[in-house]
Structure 1
Amino acid sequence: MPDEVAERIYREVYLETEEPPEGEEEAEQDPVHAEYHRRVSEHLLRHLLGHQPADEVLADSRRVLLRGEAGSGKTTLVQWLAVGATGQGRDPGMAYLHDRIPFVLTLRTITRNGGRLPAPRDFLSAVDSPLAGSQPAGWEQRVLAAGRGLVLIDGIDEVPEREREWTRRWLRDLMEAYDGDNRWLVTSRPSAVSERWLAEEGFDELTLSAMGPAEVATFIRRWHAAARPDADDPAELDAYEEQLLAAVRAKPDLGRLATNPLMCGLICALHRDRRGYLPHGRKELYEAALSMLLSRRDRERDIDVPELGEDAQLDLFQRLAYWLIKNGRTEMDRSRAEDIIGRALPSVPELTRLGDASAVFDHFLLRSGLLREPAPDAVDFVHKTFQDFLGARAVVEEGDFGLLSANAGNDQWEDVIRMAVALANKRERAEIFRGLLAVGERRADLLAAACLEQATVLDPAIREAVRARVAGLVPPGNGEEARALAEAGPLILELLPGPKYLHPITAKWVTVAATHVASDAAIPFLRAYADHRSLGVRSQLMWAWSRFDAETYLEEVIAELDPDGLDYTVRTPEQLALLGRLADRPTALDVRPGVPFDDVLAYDAEAGVTSLVLPDPEQSVLERLPSLPRLARLGVGAYSARIDLSPVASLSLESLEMDGAPDLQALGPMPTLRNLWITFGEAAEWDVQSLPATRFLRALTLGGEAVPREGLSGLGTCTGLVTLDLGASCAPVSAADWREIAALPLLSELTLELGSCESAPDGLVLSSVTTLRILGDGADDVQPLVGRLPEMCPRLRNVRIAAGVDLDLAPLAGLPDLEAVIVPVSADLIRNARALPEHVTLTTL
């Protein structure tokens, strides 16, 4: 097979969609869908959704499963969305929620006593809302039936694992009963449910990203700005702010702690409280926070309360936390809490000064800052991380290490186990690690590796045993494995392979793992992948910029990237300015909303921007696009209710990529346009005749959710088309649609979903097609198509066939020009491969 054919097949079949930008989940791509996602979903995910503001999480999708680590702000976001739906914030980015009625369903509250998951009529009472019973009968059902609901389901991970499948069925039943235009958000910790857990229910999966150096700096500045009005000495607070900013830049261990709002806020508060001194490590940080809350807060505010020893108070908090952890809960009844306190009081007589168990409970609730009352007669910890830390203290004090290994597969115990390792002494740590390794399961091995960072003192033999076990899990096989591996920290950098001889898909997952290691130690490793020919690998490196020191990463990785096909994503003015320092300034930019367009124009004056992606542009930005004289390619999020696309019509573009519900009439003829990609949102109304530049197009990609009003009528007038990709919603569904495709005289490359081929009429001939890609789950349905290919595409040279079990390739021997066949299944699932001529290359998994 000629080298150029081999290279084309390599690039087209094994280039999968890169990691979605921060704020979204990586979409694992199997080779069956790789090419379709490269040509369609890549433009949707990589260019158009981008680093999306969290409060716009439901703007582009009606159903979202949002993952986030503890402290990443999941519950805060749920509350903010509920407030945004009332219109109180008047944030223009949340205008899409202003006509909706929010229902906040906190699962920890609903399931506190094994309560049943509620029907709409019980939504308010299930979460102990004071509004329960005061609304007109049936109003909840009427809201949902009208499609005006904003259903926010918080905390799948706080439901016991055995009950999560029931929760999914409950959610599915709700959505089937109230489909319409309601918006649904479900939150969870990343490891609580598997990838694609709600895929069948139509949920997109996004992830709240970790805070990179730029976000941490912004958080610190805003925290101090909020604290400044109440500061006794604002100048002193200013000094603390600058000192802390310098510390998180200079101290890698501190930077690794400040990766989410909870930890960053805790660091800010402790730094101020301790007058510029910060403890080292997560264990010391939590101990300092507990000391501040339990002993120092009231004393230093001159509040007259009995002075109580920290150990006595911690003993009771540990008991409460331990009960919650062992019972798979994050909330308990007041009566249960008082019972636990009452049984413990004889062991801590110091606390009897406060009175009986009820009085002690009230004191803890009002004065400690650790407990809260989310509903009448209920109690939980102010954040689950405190519950896990105190529960881990109880485990270590009780010596219940067998309980840790027994729950190594339970996601609710992950942080408990990590913190137990940090709290244990050398002998106890060894026992914990031996227990984890004895489980003999991948998840327990990865957890052991992740715990190494907490083990400041550990027997070298045990450390080596953990390393050896993790080495057997390298390289990762998918995104979930890659992110889990990264939890082990910088250790994995010594185990991950370099780029030489790696399959491009494997290389992608290796870079996902390495870019999730929260340490600049990953930078030299990533540099080795900078010139990788896989666009997926290089895009992963590009998106990871915000996770590392901006200047170091620019010099070591960004400057070394092969620019072929790559969009350089910039999220801050600083990043754009740093790109301007490169000798060969990139001319293909992916500009996120945080970058002023004036900065883009200044960059263009030096570099000459030829390609620009704007995920969610302001109207004023579109109106200034003519100021970029060399712009030839534009990617834009085009939501008709918010954007007038008429300024785009005046641009001399060669390529245009759009997402959403674009007003195609506003674009006009656009005679210079040659390549058009559109992913239509479900609200879009369109037909082929309304597409711009139909007579001039050479490449057309149509996908998304909206079906064309008149099928593919008029497609045959696109007489210059060489490449055509049609997603499932835009696929041919009738003989008339197929005749439109057959009328394209220059069509050489055609990509379709397998299901659309069923409507192809007998006798159909696509005489000019030389490359055909059939996507989807083939199973038994693909064989009839394979039998028709010699008649339907007589000039076929390259064919990629949807995966099929027991697939017979013998009919393909009837194609005289055939050069390459790709079937993304194991070779042992294919029959009659030897029937292919010797010059034909067969590629399988």
Structure 2
Amino acid sequence: MEPAAIGARLASSVVAPLIKKLFVAEGPGAGLVDNPVRVSRLLSFTGEKRTLSETDLHKIARELVARAAQSTGVAEQLPAYERRAVAHAVADSLRAMDSIDMEDVQAVQLGHMAFAQHLRAQSRSATLGLSNDAVLLYVSVLDTACLHIVHFFTQRSTFVARTLVEQSRRIEELSIKIDTLIARTPSPADAPFEERYAQYIASKHGKLTIFGLDLAESPGIWPLDTAYLSLDAVGDTTHLPADQILAGRHRVLLRGVAGSGKTTLIQWLAVSTAQKNLDERLLYLYGLVPFVLPLRTLTRGGAKLPTPDEFLSEVSCPIAALQPAGWFDRVLRSGRGLILVDGIDEIPESERQGARRWLQDLVATYPRNRWLVTSRPSAVRENWLTGDDFAELDLAAMSRDNIAAFVERWHKAAGIGDQYAQDLMRAIRAKQDLARLATNPLMCALICALHQDRRGYLPDGRKEIYDAALSMLLSRRDRERGIHKPGAIRIGEAHLVQLIQKLAYWMIRNGRSEMDRGDAVRLLDHALPTMPKVAEQGSPEEIYRHLVVRSGLLREPTAGAMDFIHRTFQDYLGARAAVEGLDFDFLIAHAHLDQWEDVIRMSVAHARFMERTRLLTGLVARGDASEKEGRRLHLLAAACLEHATELDPDVRDEVQRRAAALIPPQSAEQARALAEVGPVVLDLLPGPADIPPDSPDRAYFTVLTATRIATDAAIPVLALYRDEPDLRIRTELARVWNRFDCDRYGEEVIAHLSPEFLYFPVSNTRELRVLRRFGGRPRLKISGVFSPEEFLRVCDRESPHDLWVEVDPGGTWEWLSAFPNLRTVYFEVPVSTAETVPRSVRVVGEPIAPPTTSGTAAESWDDVDSLGT
């Protein structure tokens, strides 16, 4: 007889009362506290609320089997001992409900057949020794019982109430999502202007100047969608892709060193928003209107910061006058604004409090928008904007994989063969000093350009790299490209440097990153009489035009303004001018200002032996005399040591002794400042045994310092902390794996970290292989791009029981079923094919263990994101 026929002949009036006895009586209410309810908590034959004995359970099973056998005639075909064996098997399978990790809602969603199959899988030995007819009876009885069990769940008032509440919540969430989409749709009157404005943003910011590309047989401009390299943003407990920092947050202050990609990130967010061609990760930008506000431009010449109605006109947007009346207010009041404020550090320190008040007034007036503010790390103190609900994050140094990707893209864009890229990567991996320099996009581009230009030869230090880059830009580019024509202005490299460094030093002394064209021409007018061979070739205006067009260092970002292609070159040449002018007292007097930090470092590099001694002893002495600025000045002096090629040993000892007194660091800000000192600070950092046990934060900040120094010389220091139980320390040690040599760091650090509550991030197959060699880990965070086939081929399948999926591998999620012990998957990506996730896996929107980051990429339906399955 078919199983379906057996089930059909078991009357509900007989089965339902028997099934009901398996479960405890429900209490009143909607069951919202424990939502949903685990099946094991509903059973009457186990747990604290037990009302049914083991004997009773077997009695119910015997009754079900007897009724089925009697009503179908099977009783005549099976002997009594086999019917008793079937009853035992049914009882064993029903008892398995106590051990399954499943909620009532999941059971109902599975359906009675799949639920019965799941119970059978939990008690595979129940049918051992049974004949085919007996197994058939067992399957049929269990299927029928599960039909009534699932039906019983749906009839419980708490289930019904809870389901109604859940449906109401989903309807409300959907309504909010729809309302948000409607709110982000411009009015018909504004839509045409917004379309034109979006086209302007995409055109204005959709290209990126990559240093050195114009020296090869390729354009010096890269399309942004090709050039953009996704870096990471980090905080005390946060590590996520930088383009996701506004997904779960509405206000962020992002710090990053010069050349780290802050401005490029702003361009990427603006263009992505304007083009509306968003992938799943960027859906939170849908319908927003970007406003790019570079403070260097807005404050040029001491100008007052703009009001919202002036946002477009002050950045010289050519269609600013066409915006409909009140448009800016409608956009910002509806929360559709994406306000990108670039470069707090680009304005004088004396003006920053005013900029902060300006920002606070804007946020208070239009609080519902998204705000991103960028700065160099030392320009604003910790918690500068936390009172206004700004999260504070840092752009991380480029990982080894980031560097390899950048080098490959640069050479591809330059039309240079792969061999150069491979040779350069071998050099970066072999030379620690070079690897330490190539940790941000600007320095990577410099190194790529010089490696190609010099046929594989690379200078050793930072100053040498800048000198070579300037020579390449100022003299070789025109000569090698054959640009010179009869009668054209021709200025030698030495004169070019003298003229440009005068402009740079004027900008530094006046706290500016942009200069009015008229001021630049007047400054050249004063300088040219001392250079008759240059002056006779043209007027100050013509010489200025030559510098902008031919030097490769200057540009005109807007009409009537001039700046350097990057602030780093301004600081470097300004420092050279200061040393040549013997302005050492002036340098020391301004050393406490963050805008002068790189100038001071480069001044030490440019200075001769006695000049260098004067600078460093002056910094130490001023630091000793200043209680307020002492720490900053002593750390700056220590950071200058890497540029001091020749220095009195006594002076070096004095500088290092002052730095040692500031260790261990007591805050993230101090850790950041110490890391800026460079590898020399590694010898000064203490081990955990030297830190008082009542100061766990100092141990964490010490580790934070060492992980920011992206050189393998930091590995022995970090290995000292590998046995520390502090989850913050273990998380930080695991997080930075991809910055170091994979095998060495894996053996000396990763292999020794306690796995308790710790998700081990894996960003490439090398790391997966290392973990497999160590026996795997129970919690993995997939933070690199793997195909499911790659991941399954390399990963140890037995060990993971929790996965954190940060990167969507594409396709369905059926590959998760290959992990037999998998319990929980935390998705940090939209799961559009959630039905393919194995039902035995708990799918959640936030980690089941203490998190290693601050949360998901989206925390509300406000984000118009499908995150959080």
Judge same fold: TM > 0.5, yes or no.
Answer: yes
Equivalent-residue separation in structure 1 for 2:259 and 2:578 (angstroms): 22
Task: Give the 3 Å change call, closer, same or farther, for CA 455–675 of structure 1 in structure 2.
Answer: closer
**Which one of the candidate residues 824, 832, 842 is aligned to 1:633?**
824
Tell whether the 8 Å contact from 1:638 to 1:658 is kept in structure 2 after alignment: no
**Which one of the candidate residues 123, 126, 137 is aligned to 2:325?**
137
| Residue matched to 1:207 | 394
**Which one of the candidate residues 352, 363, 367 is aligned to 1:164?**
352
Tell me the amino acid that sits aligned with residue 645 of structure 2: T
Equivalent-residue separation in structure 2 for 1:540 and 1:449 (angstroms): 25
Q: Does 1:435 align with 2:624?
A: no
Equivalent-residue separation in structure 2 for 1:343 and 1:675 (angstroms): 64
Q: SS in structure 1 opposite 2:233?
A: coil
Tell whether the 8 Å contact from 1:104 to 1:152 is kept in structure 2 after alignment: yes
| Residue matched to 1:567 | 759
Cα shift at 1:645: 4.7
Tell me the amino acid that sits aligned with residue 599 of structure 1: E
Equivalent-residue separation in structure 1 for 2:812 and 2:381 (angstroms): 40
Equivalent-residue separation in structure 1 for 2:633 and 2:814 (angstroms): 55
Tell whether the 8 Å contact from 1:587 to 1:611 is kept in structure 2 after alignment: yes
Tell whether the 8 Å contact from 1:67 to 1:208 is kept in structure 2 after alignment: yes
Q: SS in structure 2 opposite 1:24?
A: strand
Q: Does 1:449 align with 2:449?
A: no
Task: Please give the per-residue CA displacement for 1:116-173, whole angstroms capped at 9, x wherever unaligned.
Answer: 1111110111112222212222211121122211111111111211111111111111
Tell me the amino acid that sits aligned with residue 521 of structure 1: A
Q: Does 1:608 align with 2:799?
A: yes
Equivalent-residue separation in structure 2 for 1:524 and 1:492 (angstroms): 13
Tell whether the 8 Å contact from 1:626 to 1:650 is kept in structure 2 after alignment: no
Task: Give the 3 Å change call, closer, same or farther, for CA 537–682 of structure 1 in structure 2.
Answer: closer
Q: Does 1:255 align with 2:442?
A: no
Q: Does 1:76 align with 2:268?
A: no
- Map 1:535-550; keep pairs closer than 5 Å: 535-550=727-742
Tell me the amino acid that sits aligned with residue 212 of structure 1: S
| Residue matched to 1:683 | 860
Equivalent-residue separation in structure 1 for 2:725 and 2:291 (angstroms): 47
Tell whether the 8 Å contact from 2:816 to 2:838 is kept in structure 1 after alignment: no
Q: SS in structure 1 opposite 2:377?
A: coil
Cα shift at 1:657: 5.2
Q: More strand by proportion, 1 or 2? A: 1
Q: Does 1:292 align with 2:464?
A: no
| Residue matched to 1:533 | 725
| Residue matched to 1:322 | 505
| Residue matched to 2:607 | 424
Equivalent-residue separation in structure 1 for 2:855 and 2:739 (angstroms): 29
Cα shift at 1:517: 1.9
| Residue matched to 2:771 | 579
- Map 1:308-347; keep pairs closer than 5 Å: 308-347=491-530
Equivalent-residue separation in structure 2 for 1:177 and 1:467 (angstroms): 48
Unaligned runs of 5+ in 2: 1-229, 624-629, 863-867
- Map 1:574-723; keep pairs closer than 5 Å: 574-580=766-772, 582-615=773-806, 617=808, 620=811, 622-637=813-828, 643=832, 645-647=834-836, 650-653=839-842, 658-659=845-846, 683=860
Percent of residue pairs bearing the same amino acid type = 48
Mean CA deviation greater in 582-591 or 416-425? 582-591
Equivalent-residue separation in structure 1 for 2:478 and 2:492 (angstroms): 13
Please tell me the root mean square deviation across aligned C-alpha atoms, in Å.
2.5
Task: Give the 3 Å change call, closer, same or farther, for CA 123–456 of structure 1 in structure 2.
Answer: same
Equivalent-residue separation in structure 2 for 1:175 and 1:132 (angstroms): 22
- Map 1:93-242; keep pairs closer than 5 Å: 93-180=281-368, 182-228=369-415, 234=416, 237-242=417-422
Tell whether the 8 Å contact from 1:619 to 1:643 is kept in structure 2 after alignment: no
- Map 1:248-287; keep pairs closer than 5 Å: 248-287=428-467
Equivalent-residue separation in structure 1 for 2:304 and 2:849 (angstroms): 57
Tell me the amino acid that sits aligned with residue 467 of structure 2: E
| Residue matched to 1:670 | none
Equivalent-residue separation in structure 1 for 2:354 and 2:592 (angstroms): 20
Tell me the amino acid that sits aligned with residue 764 of structure 2: T
**Which one of the candidate residues 220, 235, 240 is aligned to 1:26?**
235
Tell me the amino acid that sits aligned with residue 689 of structure 2: K
Task: Give the 3 Å change call, closer, same or farther, for CA 247–619 of structure 1 in structure 2.
Answer: closer
Equivalent-residue separation in structure 2 for 1:584 and 1:636 (angstroms): 24
Tell whether the 8 Å contact from 1:474 to 1:495 is kept in structure 2 after alignment: yes
Tell me the amino acid that sits aligned with residue 547 of structure 1: R
Q: Does 1:553 align with 2:553?
A: no
Unaligned runs of 5+ in 1: 1-20, 28-41, 229-233, 661-672, 686-690, 693-845
Tell whether the 8 Å contact from 1:83 to 1:89 is kept in structure 2 after alignment: no
Equivalent-residue separation in structure 2 for 1:310 and 1:408 (angstroms): 30
| Residue matched to 2:652 | 463
| Residue matched to 2:108 | none
Tell whether the 8 Å contact from 1:573 to 1:594 is kept in structure 2 after alignment: no
Equivalent-residue separation in structure 1 for 2:343 and 2:721 (angstroms): 37
Cα shift at 1:380: 0.5
Q: Does 1:480 align with 2:669?
A: yes
TM-score, normalised to structure 2, is: 0.68
Tell whether the 8 Å contact from 1:619 to 1:644 is kept in structure 2 after alignment: no
Equivalent-residue separation in structure 2 for 1:295 and 1:90 (angstroms): 43
| Residue matched to 2:568 | 385
TM-score, normalised to structure 1, is: 0.70
Equivalent-residue separation in structure 1 for 2:519 and 2:776 (angstroms): 64
Cα shift at 1:555: 2.0
Task: Give the 3 Å change call, closer, same or farther, for CA 621–541 of structure 1 in structure 2.
Answer: farther
Mean CA deviation greater in 304-313 or 351-360? 304-313
Equivalent-residue separation in structure 2 for 1:598 and 1:172 (angstroms): 50
Tell whether the 8 Å contact from 2:397 to 2:710 is kept in structure 1 after alignment: no
Equivalent-residue separation in structure 1 for 2:301 and 2:786 (angstroms): 48
Tell whether the 8 Å contact from 1:597 to 1:621 is kept in structure 2 after alignment: no
Tell me the amino acid that sits aligned with residue 260 of structure 1: N
Equivalent-residue separation in structure 1 for 2:403 and 2:705 (angstroms): 22
Task: Give the 3 Å change call, closer, same or farther, for CA 607–251 of structure 1 in structure 2.
Answer: farther
Q: SS in structure 2 opposite 1:521?
A: helix
Q: More helix by proportion, 1 or 2? A: 2
Q: Does 1:57 align with 2:248?
A: no
Tell whether the 8 Å contact from 2:276 to 2:287 is kept in structure 1 after alignment: no
Task: Give the 3 Å change call, closer, same or farther, for CA 573–501 of structure 1 in structure 2.
Answer: same
Query: Greater CA radius of gyration, 1 or 2?
Result: 2
Cα shift at 1:647: 5.0
Equivalent-residue separation in structure 2 for 1:507 and 1:605 (angstroms): 33
Tell me the amino acid that sits aligned with residue 153 of structure 1: V
Q: SS in structure 1 opposite 2:669?
A: helix
Equivalent-residue separation in structure 1 for 2:526 and 2:255 (angstroms): 38
Tell me the amino acid that sits aligned with residue 330 of structure 1: S
Q: SS in structure 2 opposite 1:468?
A: helix
Tell whether the 8 Å contact from 2:825 to 2:841 is kept in structure 1 after alignment: no
Tell whether the 8 Å contact from 1:23 to 1:206 is kept in structure 2 after alignment: no
| Residue matched to 2:678 | 489
Cα shift at 1:353: 3.9
Cα shift at 1:652: 4.2
Cα shift at 1:416: 0.6
**Which one of the candidate residues 244, 258, 272 is aligned to 2:424?**
244
Tell whether the 8 Å contact from 2:769 to 2:795 is kept in structure 1 after alignment: no
Equivalent-residue separation in structure 1 for 2:651 and 2:849 (angstroms): 61
